[in-house]
Amino acid sequence: MIAKRHPQRGSALLEGVLMIPILFATLLTAAQLFGVQLAATRLEQAAHSLAAVLAEQPRIDQRSLNALIDQAANPQDIGNVEIVINVVSGEKELARTPIYRGNAQGECPTLSEGSQWGGSLPETLATPTGSNNQQARESNVPWLVVVQVCRSGSDLTLGTPLIGAKQLQVSSTLRMAYGPWEEMDTIPSRL
């Protein structure tokens, strides 16, 4: 009877040793997924914070915008990102060219073409037909600020192809309280 127990003990020990790499791989994958989710959450917070503050401003200048971006989208917190800010009318017309900020380039998809917004808006907005940008500005057409925050996910995980976090993109769209900002044409599109 004692002779029969030794092979069972050896097989249990072998099974335990073989399970260690599987357990380690599972824990590593869970940690990487947590890191990707944490980065996505921080991007969402930055995008929403920027959009919320920008939507409530009657005017904004370059210095104020840069200070706001430095506060809401600190690279130490969210990594190297590209931020794209668009001011869009309910008719999907842009008030100006997009404003690009951040220390990464080419991360966000282009959602505008010329003076037209090509992305989706969160609500169907009733707008007068045949109006141009100036008419829309003076009418009751709502204006929206759309903030995109994008970053590469290649530095988030060891096995990026396995996890699927090649690129993180978030967008926040809010209705502007005062319409397009005064003096916004003085803000350069890129720094």
The pLDDT assigned to 127 comes to 46
pLDDT at residue number 171: 93
What pLDDT is recorded for position 74? Answer: 86
- What pLDDT is attached to residue 131? 44
Nearest-angstrom CA–CA distance, 182 and 186: 9
Q: What parts of the chain have a pLDDT lower than 70? A: 1-9, 123-139, 157-165
Distance, CA of 114 to CA of 156 (rounded, Å)? 34
Global pTM exceeds 0.85:
no
CA distances from 158 to 32, 41, 42, 104 (A): 8, 20, 20, 21
Select from 68, 30, 78, 57 the least CA-distant residue to 182. 57
Structure confidence at residue 130 (pLDDT): 47
The answer to whether residues 157 and 163 touch, using CB atoms and an 8 Å cutoff, is yes
Nearest to 141 by CA among 149, 153, 131, 150: 131
Determine the pLDDT at residue 173: 92
Q: What's the distance, CA 183 to chain centroid?
A: 26
